[in-house]
Amino acid sequence: MINPILIIAIALGTAFSLGLLKKLGRELSFAITLIALAAMAFISAQWLSAFLTYNMLGPVVTTAGGRAPFVIVLQMGHMEALFTLLINVMGVMGAFYLHDRLTENGNGAMAVLLAGIMGLNGIILTGDIFNLFVFLEIASIATAGLVLLVTDFKSLTAGFKYMLASGLISGLFLLGIIFLYNTTGTLNIRELLIAVPGTIKAGSVASFLVMMAILLEMKPFPANGWGIDLYSGAPAGVSALIASASATAAYFVLIKLLPLGGTVAYKIAAAVGITTFVASNLVALSQRSATKLLGYSSIGQMGLVVGIYGLNYHLGSKAFLIIFSLLGTHYLAKAGLFWLSGIVQSTEIDKWSALRKSPVLFVLFGIFVFALMGFPPFPSFFGKWELIMGLVASKLYWWAGAILLGTMFEGIYLFRWFSRALKLDNQELAKPRSTIYTFVPPLVFAILLFPAGYYTSTYTGGIGIMGFAPLLFIMLIGFLDFLPAYIKNILSIAGVAAYSWYLWPHVQGNTFKIVFAGIFMGGALLALFAGFYRRGKHLGFYPTTLLMFLGLGILVDASNLMELFYGWELMTIGSYFLLIRGERSLPHGYSYLLFSLGGSLAMMFGFGLAHASAGTIELSALNHIHVLPALAYSLMLVGFMTKTASLGFHIWLPGAHGEAVADIHFMASAVLLKAGVFGIILVLSGMGNSEPYARNILLVLGWIGALTALIGNIGAAFQESAKYLLAWSSIGQLGYIVFGLATMTHLGWLAAYGYTITHFLYKGILFLIIGGIAFRVGTADMYKMGGLIKRMPFSFLAVLISIITLAGIPPLVGFTGKWIFYNMIVSEHMFYQGLVVIISGIVAFLYLFRLIHVIFLGQLKDKNRRVKEVYPWLLIPAYAMLIGVMVLSMFPNTLLGPLGRMLSTAFPKGALHWDGYTASTAYGTFNMPIIMAVIGSTFAVVFLWLLLANRRAVKVKQFNIFYSGEAPSRPELTHFGYNFFAHYKKAVGFMAVPLVTRFWDQVSEGLHALAGYGRAIYTGNAQSYLFHIVGFVVAIYLITMGGLS
């Protein structure tokens, strides 16, 4: 084993010799610096591997030939090994990134960097509190020196403010140290920790000052203006070092010294840390500068881990796992983002769209942002999950709530930044230039996030290998993105088929899972098949699509809540990238992601309560929760309803789906929405309907479902775009399903299941066909189409059959669903909700009639005279689903039979009674083949009669008419298909007014106003910042004296 003191010796020796060897040539000096840093990293690494391999105690290295406490000691334990490794790796990468600046500024700059890294190592290793002070000072002086690598005004002011603030803070620290020494007679940290509790009274001012200093080093809100200016003012490479290496070292000081303050210190750390997390992220909401955002986010993240350390007694054995996963993610991702900010060369977030010109860098950007936000498969996902589970289990609800709120704020600004970079126009912007030096460090850190995530998961359990292995396949597809789309399509279909083959034994025998696995995997195969119509490369489409379907697969396969959540989040990432692909999808994709994030945070809290109640995260934990059950079930339902786009959470859907192209629209609407249904079924199965709170929840849920159906259908009736029409219609259809489930009756669930499956089929057909038509015609606005029946007869037939099904008109399967619904409404006496559902069913006729009439009937537009039939790649899957619709229409018992048998275990009362093809309830009977025969023959008779009667009619050619000589200014106004239901709009249009949109807009405005108010404290004036520090100390002192102790 290499003596750890060599870490310090190497750094110091190299730094001094660099000063002496100025003639050496800067590249050589740079190489020497890197080698020295790498050697330091190696020493830490071999200690860490030794600690992980053997269960041993680390050495205590004494200096100056004496023994502790008379001399300074260095301590190397497993924590020290890990933390110095983090710092030294960051040293290597950070120095590598700073190559240009270091060689430009010469050996002195490299010596300063080495001294800084040495200082940080010393902070970790030293066992002497005064020595710690010395290393802190070395590190901060070196930091200020590194800030000077760029001598623009911004860096100068930032560095000056930083030096002043850190001078004041270390003064406090020094004062605390000498008081500690005065009361205990030692400076050795280990002895102090033993001595202090005995002398707590005399030492209270001493430990208070030390504690304040270490908290202030973590830049707590609001005494952190200097920190934010430092992050945004320093050169990007230096900010990365500060965010990752310095913050990590400062955090270790906190771990080492906080016990000096006793239990009060933990309480203060918890309060200060979590407040910092929430407040920093709130204030950041109104920021538009990328480096400032990163500064706020860094401070917030460090606040979070400080708070967690303050709460660690409540988190038990998982505390350090949580801390390391969050700290590690922050370390990798924040450094990466700061590095990228140096490449982009613009602090304005809107200019980051330039990064798209270097796709690899952009992918890294995405990885870092999603990792920071705690999405799988990154370590923070597991950390955040365990954190919320632990806090909720310890009944620390407000803490958990505050953390979730802070996370939401962070998501709002990080995702806004990312979404804008993803979508905003970048024609005018120059391609960001990266060299090998600036490119490698972020690449390495982004790659490291993946194994780090897997490694973390092995400690938490819950996610099996099948949560990760398919990701490798998806990455492979990502690497092959340069290939033409059809090759990737074939590979993707193979991948989905393989996964389905794996999934089948897991769902076999479970009707519930078979239904959803069928929708998800079947939908995947059909959608990918349809994807063959695409030309070109279709960059980025396949990895994200597969990610979404993997998430859906894991969702069905999940055996515990963590896996469920893991799948849910993977699906969210994938679907976000799909939905934001549309041309004008920026705001919709962004709001989709925010609703999803909010929903999943709510859901996580709900799962936490389930876990606290059952003591396990198995799926059975959802049954009969007894810890705050009403809150738990409501939160979970809210979480799942963000995906079903139920009333209140539906505003993202029309835009996101309406802008999507055919196959994506199909996936998003016919398939993805069903994930929410899956979740609601799980939750409701666990909740039951016997408890009073459950009945209240169900009542609300039922009304939400019914009103969603109404609003969705009314919304659909007033759309000009066929795609938006279908999107609104999906909202309405999902409303039926939610309503059916909320009744908690056999028939209600049967109808809901039936709708889930048939909606997949008929909506699938409509999305593919209408999307295909829009692609051919070049617009989705219905009044620009018309007469297409002549050009696209196959499309017409498919649309006709699916809208008959959708409308619930006999003889097709939609009628079956409606019939069951009406039976249920009568038998359950749900007349009010029933009325709403019936009215919305009538509204559905309106928009469906418009859909087929305006697109296919009427006059063919001149420019569409040569338009071709929809691609066969879209027609084939559509007709495959059409066959499904016809089979289910003729033999509904093939579907309803097994579903009914499954539901009879949960709802034995009120089942359908089957006798051959005849189903009966207390109110009547139903025989689909007979209905079909009757309707079919009636239709045939009328059709024949029309043929006969029209024999003598004169056929008029399309252009056998004349215009009255006026050219209308807005031609669409003269089109019958435009504003088709103007008369209805006058009557009930107020219901389609986006009240809900306005509500969310106001929430957003309010938050931004609050953020602006909070930001007002950051004046940029160094003296205000110093005053904040003094004020912070005084305030905490008063609060502590006031009650906590």
**Span from 163-171, 421-429, 864-872, 935-943 in contact with other proteins (CB under 8 A):** 163-171
Q: Which part of the chain contacts other proteins (CB under 8 A), choosing from 140-148, 334-342, 402-410, 747-755?
A: 140-148
Burial class (CB in 10 A: 0-12, 13-18, 19+), 943: exposed
Is residue 1018 within the footprint of other proteins (CB under 8 A)? yes
Strands 913-915 and 918-921, sheet pairing: antiparallel
Are β-strands 924-927 and 918-921 bridged in parallel, bridged antiparallel, or unpaired?
antiparallel
Q: Say which amino acid occupies 689.
A: N
The structure tokens listed for 667 are 């996936």
Q: Are 587 and 655 in contact (CB under 8 A)?
A: yes
Find the shortest distance in angstroms from Cβ 225 to other proteins: 8
595: Cβ contacts below 8 Å, ≥ 6 apart: 642, 649, 652
Which range touches other proteins (CB under 8 A), out of 58-66, 753-761, 939-947, 1020-1028?
Answer: 1020-1028
Q: Give the nearest distance from C-beta 678 to other proteins in angstroms.
A: 45
Q: How many residues does the chain have?
A: 1045
Collect all residues with Cβ–Cβ distance below 8 Å to 418 and sequence separation of at least 6.
365, 366, 369
**128 is a contact residue toward other proteins (CB under 8 A):** no
Residue 225 vs 442, nearer CB to other proteins: 225
Distance CA 259, CA 189 (A): 10
Is 171 a binding residue for other proteins by CB under 8 A? The answer is yes
> CA 364, CA 349: separation in Å to the nearest integer?
16
The number of angstroms, rounded, from the C-alpha of 1006 to the middle of its chain's C-alpha atoms is 23
**Local structure of 582: helix, strand or coil:** coil
Q: How far is the CB of 128 from other proteins (least distance, A)?
A: 11
Which tokens in the block code for residue 434?
């990266």
Our CB check for other proteins shows the closer of 171 and 359 to be 171
Question: Site size for other proteins, by CB under 8 A?
Answer: 45
The residue from 45, 77, 137, 849 that contacts other proteins (CB under 8 A) is: 137
Taking CB under 8 A as the rule, does residue 145 contact other proteins? yes
Q: How far is CA 288 from CA 350, 358, 466, in A?
A: 8, 22, 40
| Residues 899, 760, 738: CA angle, nearest 5 degrees | 65
CB 740 within 8 A of CB 748: yes
Binding positions for other proteins, 203-242, rule CB under 8 A: 229, 232-233
- Least Å from the CB of residue 623 to other proteins: 53
Least distance from other proteins to the Cβ atom of residue 62, Å = 16
Stretch that binds other proteins, among 285-293, 475-483, 496-504, 698-706 (CB under 8 A): 285-293
Interface pick for other proteins out of 101, 292, 488, 581 (rule CB under 8 A):
292
- Of 160, 468, 845, 871, the residue at the interface with other proteins (CB under 8 A) is 160
CB nearer to other proteins: pick between 134 and 514: 134
Tell me the HSE value of 76 on the side-chain side, using a 13 A CA sphere: 26
Query: Which residue from 499, 708, 496, 669 is spatially nearest to 578, judged by alpha carbons?
Result: 669
Of the candidate residues 6, 24, 71, 148, the single one contacting other proteins (CB under 8 A): 148
Q: What are the Cα distances from residue 587, in Å, to 2, 419, 657, 729, 995?
A: 56, 8, 12, 21, 18
Specify the residue, 229 or 659, whose C-beta has the smaller distance to other proteins: 229
| Beta-carbon count within 10 A of 1034 CB | 11
Nearer to other proteins, 164 or 1010 (CB): 164
For the purposes of burial, counting CB atoms within 10 Å of the CB of 826, is it exposed (0-12), middle (13-18) or buried (19 or more)?
Answer: middle
**Closest approach of other proteins to the CB of residue 224, in Å:** 13
| 1037 forms part of the interface with other proteins (CB under 8 A) | no
Residues in region 333-352 near other proteins by CB under 8 A: 347
> In this structure, which amino acid lies at residue 29?
S
Q: How far is the CB of 144 from other proteins (least distance, A)?
A: 5
**Pick 458 or 1021: Cβ nearer other proteins:** 1021
Q: List helix spans (H) across 829-871.
A: 831-856
**73 beta partners:** 62
| 750 DSSP assignment | H
| Shorter beta-carbon distance to other proteins: residue 697 or 1022 | 1022
Closest to 74 measured CA to CA, from 58, 52, 90, 89: 58
In this structure, what are the phi and psi dihedrals at residue 920, rounded to the nearest 5 degrees? -140, 150
Could you say whether residue 1023 binds other proteins (CB under 8 A)?
yes
**Which of 134, 363, 424, 493 forms a contact with other proteins (CB under 8 A)?**
134
175 binds other proteins (CB under 8 A): yes
Q: Closest CB to other proteins among 219 and 292?
A: 292
Output phi, psi for 527, to 5 deg.
-65, -40
Nearest CA to 748 out of 692, 833, 823 is that of 823
CB atoms within 10 A of CB 264: 17
Binding of residue 167 to other proteins (CB under 8 A): yes
The minimum distance between CB 563 and other proteins, in angstroms, equals 44
Residue 182 near other proteins by CB under 8 A: yes
Judged by CB under 8 A, the stretch of 142-150, 332-340, 797-805, 823-831 that binds other proteins is 142-150
Q: Residue from 20, 539, 1030, 1038 that binds other proteins (CB under 8 A)?
A: 1030
Which phi and psi (to 5°) does residue 618 adopt?
-60, 160
For residues 168 and 471, which CB has a smaller minimum distance to other proteins in the complex?
168
Q: Using the rule CB under 8 A, is 178 a contact of other proteins? A: yes
Q: How many CB atoms lie within 10 A of CB 439?
A: 18
* Min CB(235)–other proteins separation in Å: 15
Per CB under 8 A, the list member of 63, 199, 289, 1045 interacting with other proteins is 289
| Most distant CA atoms of the chain, gap in Å | 119
- Binding of other proteins by 1026 (CB under 8 A): yes
Using the rule CB under 8 A, give the single segment among 421-429, 871-879, 1001-1009, 1015-1023 that binds other proteins: 1015-1023
Does 880 bind other proteins (CB under 8 A)? Our answer is no
Q: For other proteins, which residue of 26, 154, 267, 538 counts as binding (CB under 8 A)?
A: 154
**Contacting range for other proteins; rule: CB under 8 A; set: 151-159, 394-402, 435-443, 626-634:** 151-159
Q: Please, which of residues 792-811 interact with other proteins by CB under 8 A? A: none
The Cα 546–Cα 224 span in angstroms is 43
- By CB under 8 A, name the one of 6, 60, 141, 1010 that touches other proteins: 141
CB of 1025 to other proteins, least distance (A): 10
Contact 801, 890 (CB under 8 A): no
Distance separating alpha carbons of residues 164 and 442, to the nearest angstrom: 32
HSE of 228, CA atoms in CB hemisphere, 13 A: 27
Here the tokens at position 980 are: 């088709």
Which lies closer to other proteins via its Cβ, residue 135 or residue 605?
A: 135
Q: Which two tokens stand for residue 951?
A: 């024999």
Q: Which one of residues 1021, 1034, 1035, 1044 is an interface residue with other proteins (CB under 8 A)?
A: 1021
If one asks whether residue 144 binds other proteins (CB under 8 A), the answer comes out as: yes
Stretch near other proteins under the rule CB under 8 A, chosen from 179-187, 459-467, 515-523, 612-620: 179-187
Q: Is the CB of 131 or the CB of 758 nearer to other proteins?
A: 131
Helix (H) or strand (E) holding 695: helix 692-717
Q: Closer to other proteins by CB, 138 or 680: give it.
A: 138
Is residue 153 a contact residue for other proteins (CB under 8 A)? yes
Interacting residues toward other proteins by CB under 8 A: 130, 134, 137, 141, 144-145, 148, 151-154, 156-157, 159-160, 163-164, 167-168, 171, 174-175, 177-179, 181-182, 187, 229, 232-233, 288-289, 292, 347, 1015, 1018-1023, 1026-1027, 1030
